[in-house]
Amino acid sequence: MKFAKTALLAAVLCATSLSGHAYAADEILRFVPVKGGFVLAEQGRIAPIIVAPGETMAVRHAAQDLARDLAQVTGQTPQVLGQAAHTPTPAPAAIIIGTLGQSAIIDAMVKKGAINPQALAGKWESFLILSLQKPLPGVARALVVVGSDRRGTAFGAYEVSRAMGVNPWSWWADLAPRHHDAIYAAPGLHHFGPPSVRYRGIFVNDEDWGLFPWAARTFDPQRKDIGPKTYARIFELMLRLKANTLWPAMHKTTAAFNSDPANAKLADDYGIIMGSSHSEVMLRNNVGEWKDAPEAFNYAANPEKIRLYWEERVQKNGAYENLWTIGMRGLHDTGMVGTSTMAEKVALLDRVIKDQRALLDKHVAGGAEKAGQIFVPYKEVLDIYRSGLNVPENVSIVWPDDNFGYIRQFPSKAEAHRSGGAGVYYHLSYLGYPLSYLWLSTTPPALVREEMTRAYDKGARNIWIVNVGDIKPAEIGTTHFLDMAWDVEKHRGESQKDYLKHWLGEAFGPELSAQASAMMDEYFRLNFARRPEHLEWPAKAEDRHLSDFTVAEAHDRLRRWRALAAKAQAMAAQVPADRQDAWFELVEFPIRAASATNIRYFAAEYYDEMIEVTPAEAYSAGGAMAWADEEIAAITDRYNNAIAGGKWRNIMPAEPADPQWRIYRPRPLVTPAASLRSAPDRFFARVDATQTPPSPGIEAGDIPAKGWRKVEGMGRGHGVMIADTQGAPWSANFTLARGQNGVTLGLLPMFPDGEDRELKLEVSIDGGAPIAIAVPRQVGSAPWVTGVLANLLRVPVPATLTPGAHRIAVTARSGGIALNRLIFWP
């Protein structure tokens, strides 16, 4: 895979332009004169953008966006000219954008030897950015963007925008580009692509509480829905992030994407490949488009009507670039009906797939052998696949995670080498059992990197789709996922801290990046132990929702949250005026919201503990609950009504937003009446004075071992140790003051390789015979529930341990072993 020498090219330029540091040798653009370079913009003149008449709409959209970006940066709007290769355009400089084999201008340059076509020919979504002399009659110098296909060219145009400081989230996160009087093109050739993963996309989902009300009431009130105006902004964002595939919003509240043909036409104009989720096969939104009785959605009893329903969509959308989801589930994220035994399910699904492919043969150019298709073994469909379902060779099998960031199954070698390849459907947002997480984006980049590189290494390289909920506030997670999909090798060894420093540096500049990244790293670490939406534990005595934190651990957690929220607020004073809104959206709001939610929960827990013991302590904890309620209300109001002049009104609900899907949300906490609470100062003083309690055992991340790799940003404490080599022992020495009855291993709730259903390891104490441990990994089981909510599997190992010195060795016997800590029994 070939890329420009500096993969962080645009980010480096943005950072140096803000700080005045030296420029890198291979940058595309500069803001001061450069030897061998030329002026693209300076006071009184700006280079035109030239696009050949035969170019696609995707390239034309990108050229217009580049012109708009140049106007934002320089205050001057360039002309966008459509012309043939030999039409004179007297100009000292120009920006030329075109696609190999599509643009007559580019092909003319190839013919005269100015561009080497072998660098791009036959490559997927690749592009060059280079400086040329006399590329056209009358044009002295040009910055040329040439792509291997329409998206490659569009990506190249947006890369030029990024090189002059236009953040991909410029509109979506209020990161307006900084002004520069002059822009210079540096000499050189820059080669990008092909991407690591062929299809890279997002799923806009569970939009009822954020994206839909914002679009319907604020952004597009005439439409009163998510329509072409909103999708145009989504498509542009995707191209700026080098994504190419969309699963559109599909809840009942939103009109089905294809109910308005303008949506599909717009997607094609932008070069976006349309797909659909695991429950919307054949591009059909069943919730919005199936007009018959729900019980009629039964292929065993009603195949002809369902087949005609699918055929209508294939006929209408078959001319566009699509990824057809094949197979069948129920109407909306439910199991397929009409069968009782597993053999019947396999047979019926096999019949469904054959009939769906026959429709592609009938209506799509190239038929089922050429049309892009995916099969998603999600939830109950995985069991059907495991029971012998035969998926056609050229269909990509897209493996889902367990909805909480842990991939359920990885492709076998045979599955990875199928012509259709394999992929991953991943969640950064989720509505469902046992508890949802729709509010704040808290999945740590370290976990995403670990799971997705593991999937890539095992052959899942054809399609990566990530559920991003309402898009906001998942800006960091979305970018990170798509960055990895574009160039997995660049990010393979990148730590969470380093990625955050790069991302926040591009957003806010190098002066703030170190402090901001440290804060967001702490944000992800604290939330990994428990997401704010998951602050509920199985009920104990008297239905009191007691956590598994001790009082000292809970108060230490609150101390860290309070300190972090105070830093985020204090640092806002250092943020430039033009980044204040972005700072609140990307850093301050998520930190303060998570902090207040933790305060509310653990203050309630302390209130219950102390109300009959020390009422004064309890009353102050009740005051802290009331303070947290007010804090959440205030920052939510600010996000919706004050930030960016009300641009994001209705995008950010207070969690939980409403009574819908209450079964998948924590039970509401009741703040004590005013007569049963006092000022929170006493409670906060106790919390802030809390000393960090000692670790309850051994932190695995503190002890290196051959064949194991430390990963920071996951687990509790100092990171986790991941076994890269089966059979390699991780060992630790420890001394006990008194005897113990066993040890508990704390593992991340990962899954083993292939079709294995158990995590396997061995434990040896003091050189004794290894104790074989098998940990069943069954989605929906009680251990899975507690594991994903805590991001921790507690695996007990009985053993008689006498006082004195001991040595323990843990050996991985399967993939997916990530050791966090060892805790000794009393």
Predicted confidence band at 19 (pLDDT cuts at 50, 70, 90)? very low
Architecture of domain 510-688: Up-down Bundle (1.20)
Nearest-5° Cα angle at 549, 548 to 553: 170
Residue 26, pLDDT score:
63
Helix%, strand%, coil% for the chain, nearest 5: 40, 20, 40
Structure confidence at residue 777 as a pLDDT band (50, 70, 90): very high
Measure the CA–CA gap between 551 and 565, rounded to whole angstroms: 21
Tokens in use for 690? Answer: 């809390």
Q: Is 195's pLDDT higher than 50?
A: yes
Residue range(s) of every CATH 3.20.20.520 domain in the chain: 199-494
Looking up tokens 């009409």, which residue turns up?
Answer: 338
Give pTM, 2 decimals.
Answer: 0.95
- DSSP string covering 362-406, please? HHSTTHHHHSEEEE---THHHHHHHTT----TTSEEEEEB-SSS-
Pinpoint the residues of the chain covered by CATH 2.60.120.260: 697-824
pLDDT value for 359 = 99
pLDDT at 560: 98
Residues of the chain with CATH 1.20.58.2150: 510-688
589-610 helix and 551-571 helix, angle to the nearest 10 degrees? 150
pLDDT of residue 694: 87
For domain 697-824, give its CATH number from 2.60.120.260, 1.10.940.10, 2.40.30.10, 1.10.357.10: 2.60.120.260
| Three-class secondary structure of residue 246 per DSSP | strand
φ/ψ of 191, rounded to 5, equals -115, 125
Dihedral angle, C-alpha 612, 614, 617, 621, nearest 10 °: -10
> pLDDT at residue 1 above 60?
no
> What average pLDDT does the segment 390-395 reach?
98
Q: How confident is the model at residue 87 (pLDDT cuts 50, 70, 90)?
A: low
Write the CB contacts of 475 (distance below 8 Å, at least 6 apart in sequence).
169, 172, 173, 441, 585, 586
Assess whether pLDDT exceeds 80 at residue 667.
yes
Residue 214 banded pLDDT, cuts 50, 70, 90 = very high
Tokens of 742: 């066993």
Torsion of CA 427, 431, 437, 440, to 10 degrees: 80
* Whole-angstrom distance, CA of residue 23 vs CA of residue 187: 13
Percent pLDDT > 70 in the chain is 95
Check whether 552 has a pLDDT greater than 80: yes
H or E stretch including 819?
strand 818-824
Question: Per CATH, which fold does 9-192 belong to?
Answer: Chitobiase; domain 2 (3.30.379)
Calpha distance 710→438 (Å, rounded) = 30
Contacts of 357 (CB under 8 A, 6+ apart): 326, 368, 373, 392
| Confidence class for position 45, pLDDT limits 50, 70, 90 | very high
566/691 Cα distance (integer angstroms): 18
Q: Comparing C-alpha atoms, which of 571, 722, 715, 590 is closest to residue 655?
A: 590
Angle (CA) 559 561 566, round 5°: 95
The pLDDT of residue 756 is: 87
- Percent of the chain scored above 90 by pLDDT? 89
Mean pLDDT of 200-225: 98
What order do you get walking across the sheet with 45-46 strand by strand?
29-30, 183-185, 38-42, 45-46
Which pLDDT value is given to residue 20?
Answer: 28
- For 468-520, what is each residue's pLDDT tens digit? 999 999 999 999 999 999 999 999 999 999 999 999 999 999 999 999 999 99
Mean pLDDT of 379-394: 96
- Judge whether 801 and 742 are in contact, CB under 8 Å: yes
Q: Is 776 exposed, middle or buried (0-12, 13-18, 19+ CB in 10 A)?
A: exposed
Q: How far apart are CA 124 and CA 244, in angstroms?
A: 11
Asked if residue 10 has pLDDT above 50, the reply is: no
Q: Any idea which architecture 199-494 has in CATH?
A: Alpha-Beta Barrel (3.20)
Predicted pLDDT of residue 508? 98
Q: Where are the CATH 3.30.379.10 domain residues in the chain? A: 9-192
Q: What is the overall mean pLDDT for the chain?
A: 94
Residue 11: band (very low, low, confident or very high) from pLDDT cuts 50, 70, 90: very low
Taking residue 112's Cβ as centre, other Cβ atoms within 10 Å add up to 9
Could you tell me the pLDDT band of residue 14, with boundaries at 50, 70 and 90? very low
Pairing of strands 804-812, 127-136: unpaired
What's the sign of the alpha-carbon dihedral 569, 575, 577, 578? Answer: negative
Read off the pLDDT band of 541 (50, 70, 90): very low
Q: What is the dihedral of CA 68, 74, 79, 82, to 10 degrees?
A: -60
> Do the beta carbons of residue 472 and residue 219 sit within 8 Å?
no
Per-residue model confidence (pLDDT) at position 806: 96
Cβ-contact 68, 115 below 8 angstroms: no
Query: Which pLDDT score is estimated for 21?
Result: 28
Summarize pLDDT for 418-445 with one digit per residue, the tens.
999 999 999 999 999 999 999 999 999 9
